[in-house]
Structures are given as structure tokens and as C-alpha cells.
Amino acid sequence: MTAVTCDTITRDIIENGYTYSEYTDLIENLLKNDRTTGENHSEMMLHYTKMNLHRMKRINRRMELNPDLDRRLAEIERSMIWLILTEAWCGDAAQSLPVIQKIADQSDKIKTRYILRDEHPEIMDQFLTNGRSRSIPKLICLDFNSLEVLGTWGPRSTDAQLVVESANQIEGIPYQEVAEKLHKWYAEDNTRSIQNELNELLDHWERS
């Protein structure tokens, strides 16, 4: 794609965004006060947030980068900022953010910042999924110097999306059952799909 700028993404927003450790600290501190990100602090949303924090910690401990991606990261020449829109209660974010951060940690050319979707609707609405959905997580890849938008990824890998679409074809299937199928798939996939997709996207983003 041709690189473009996004007027709603500024240096101040990036610099005031959370690092990954700050983001996870935020979630833990909110949970101590029976809160999550956003305005809905119901028992259901708190349950999702607690589960997500557990998932993130487990992936942080267990995941390893595949050798092809590891080699690709060593070859990156373009400095980038990965700005990620997220919320603590989002299950897809919990499955993806540890992978995104692990990838970024392996390259001194990639800087990450995390911002909350509901605090930045002006940015989210520039990167809707299928032109209509505020789906997260959404990774926005920016040139470090110009802040040109080089590309995006999210809210989930193509294979994960197929799982959701297949489940939704079952008439009357409740949301919880779709979520269970999706998280089962995530466990079996073991981060392979997102690693493969981001590996391919790195080539496009460097050439944009």
C-alpha cells in the first residue's frame, strides 16, 4: 500500500501511550479496585479482564519466536512505531499483544505503544475493520520519523477469523460458545498464525 499520514496520530499521543509493562500494570491496578478499562465494570467484564491477564502472562512465559521471523527481525532497516489500540477486556487482544510485544522486543527498530480504544475514537474510526467495526486489537504501523501509516494488522489473524465466521454460521449459537471455540483454536495454534502474518507484513511495511 502507499504510505499515508493520519492527522489524528500525533507525537504526543504516541509518547503518552503505554509501554507494554505499563499497560499490564494498569490492568492489574484496575482489577485491585474491581475495575477494568472503559466504562463497563460489570462482573462479566471483570471476569473477562482477569482471564485475559492470565492468558497474557501464560503466553509471555511460554511463547517462542519461529526461526524465520527471528531472522527477519535481525534484517529490519526501517525504524517503525507500532501503535496498538486495545482494551483490557478484549480476548483477542490478550491472545495477540504478548506476541506483538515479543516480536518488537527482538528488534531495536520497532517501538511499541498501547492506547485504549475508547479513549481514542478519533483514531479508531480511521481504522475500522471492513469500514464499520471498531474491532480490536488494531496494530497501526508507522514510520518512526514521518509517522506515515505503513499498514495495519488486526483484530485477529485470517485463520482465527475463519474460526469465528464458521462458528457464527451455526444458527442460534451463543457468543460464549463462539468465544470458547476461538480460544481453543488460539491454544492449538500456539501463536503460529500471528507470527507468520506479521513476518509477511514486515516485508510490505519496509517497502511502503
Tell me the mean pLDDT in the region 1-15.
81
pLDDT given for residue 202 in this prediction: 95
**Whole-prediction pTM:** 0.94
Kindly give, in sequence order, each residue whose CB lies less than 8 Å from that of residue 52, ignoring residues fewer than 6 positions away: 27, 88, 89, 90, 91, 93, 94
Residue 169 to residue 148: CA distance in whole angstroms: 38
Q: What is the pLDDT of residues 45-98, one digit of tens each?
A: 999 999 999 999 999 999 999 999 999 999 999 999 999 999 999 999 999 999
Q: What is the DSSP letter of 19?
A: P
Cis (ω within 30 of 0) for the bond into 98?
A: no
Helix (H) or strand (E) holding 82: strand 80-86
pLDDT greater than 80 at residue 185: yes
Cell numbers found for residue 194: 500471528
pLDDT of residue 175: 86
What domains lie within the chain, and their CATH numbers?
A: 4-156+197-202 (3.40.30.10)
Instruction: Kindly report, residue by residue over 117-139, the tens digit of the pLDDT.
Output: 999 999 999 999 999 999 999 99
The 10 Å Cβ neighbour count of residue 166 is 12
What pLDDT does 2 receive? 47
